[in-house]
A and B are shown apart, each in its own frame.
Chain A
């Protein structure tokens, strides 16, 4: 039984807040649209024969998909932050991680400013603290207050 009428949430306000999280690309409808073919390409790597064809000639395989040049380059470079910006989703890109035969966590570490051993070490020590990475706005406000300069 619903004990409190949940307030209707405005979709524009809802989406706007996502842009305030540091170092995070929320997989919104806009990203999903932009990255549709990129993610479907990644999905195709679930099949052995496709993995083999991709590995034999990555560029030629990508050219079979309706991707723009930027997306192809980001995929070829394994620039995963760029892939996220261009609409990629990590669960789909994971098919590329496994095609490359690298552990999920290693691929994830390439999106941070750490090497894989440093990243692993951070995880062993309890992970990245949420302190200071909750809100871009809040960070700007507090650095303004303490006069520590803009980020």
Chain B
């Protein structure tokens, strides 16, 4: 059976894609940001996930104002990198997993999440930047991807509680997929940033780190943070962090942190990154090195 073995959270600032594409990722400005992902790149090589369920948002690329799905799942065979006004990023096509994606979509609808199904679309920096951060610049991405797009642009976006519950339902759906698959779920976007108005440039290190802390362990208090708090405390675009809660919700009652990274600034944004393991007695270590401690911790 398929199972979710880990959760990864990461900012998806477009400038990180530019840095990667133009080999600026180790310069003075970007070096400290990318250094925080070195651990994860090695870890991903050992984990070898088959599929990533990648929770992200589209930034006026595949979706314009004509149609605004709150939750949409990509069930297509493959996705091309979107032209966001500078030409498409020179990254490999993203290969989908239609069998798993359709299985999740159907299960979610039965579970009363009224999903929008996408069969064809281009994917923008929201999806391709996290892949670059975690995998570098391979000729082909090392795994398949199920895109899960969340509306965090037009208000109201879904509540944190709803995002968390969606994550729980996704985990259930993955569990009932018959094929043996090592599945990770990634939550992307954030952390604090505001890209508009006289208050632009807002960063809240304290709040961001409170949020990172809250992802670890068995507390679920983050799901009850109202939108107004994200707006006031983390800037108008900090609301993207609700997408991290889909990831967290899918990891079950308890998690432990394997890796954590925080850096200010990247352009207008605070970079946050975390790798989490579900910690509910599953013994989910894919590398073989942590199994003993995972079981001992029970």
Question: Please, how many angstroms separate the alpha-carbon atoms of A28 and B228 in the complex?
Answer: 13
Interface positions of A (Cβ within 8 A of B): 1-4, 6, 9, 14-15, 17-18, 21-29, 32, 36, 39-40, 42-43, 45-46, 80-81, 84, 89-92, 94-95, 98-99, 103-105, 108-109, 111-113, 119, 122-124, 126-130, 133-135
The reply on B236 being an interface residue by CB < 8 A is: yes
Count chain B CB atoms within 10 A of each CB in A26, A103, A124 and give the residue with the most: A26
Extra pairs beyond A6-B161, A123-B203 (11, CB < 8 Å)? A2-B161, A23-B198, A43-B65, A94-B60, A98-B85, A108-B196, A111-B197, A126-B203, A128-B194, A130-B204, A130-B207
Interface positions of B (Cβ within 8 A of A): 14-15, 59-61, 64-66, 83-86, 153-156, 159, 161, 165, 168, 192, 194-205, 207, 220, 224, 226-228, 231-233, 236, 264-265, 267-268, 270
Task: Given A27-B154, A27-B155, A94-B60, decide whether A123 and B233 contact each other with a Cβ distance below 8 A.
Answer: no
Q: Is the interface of B mostly helix, strand, loop or mixed?
A: loop
> Which of B64, B83, B207, B236 contacts A24, CB < 8 Å?
B236
Task: Given A26-B155, A46-B83, A108-B195, decide whether A127 and B201 contact each other with a Cβ distance below 8 A.
Answer: yes
Please tell me if the beta carbons of B232 and A130 are within 8 angstroms of each other in the complex.
yes
> Which of B15, B85, B197 contacts A45, CB < 8 Å?
B85
Task: Given A124-B265, A126-B205, decide whether A23 and B197 contact each other with a Cβ distance below 8 A.
Answer: yes
Nearest A residue (CB) for B207: A130
Q: Which residues of B contact A133 (CB under 8 A)?
A: 199, 202
> Which of A29, A40, A80, A123 contacts B201, CB < 8 Å?
A123
Please tell me if the beta carbons of A112 and B198 are within 8 angstroms of each other in the complex.
yes
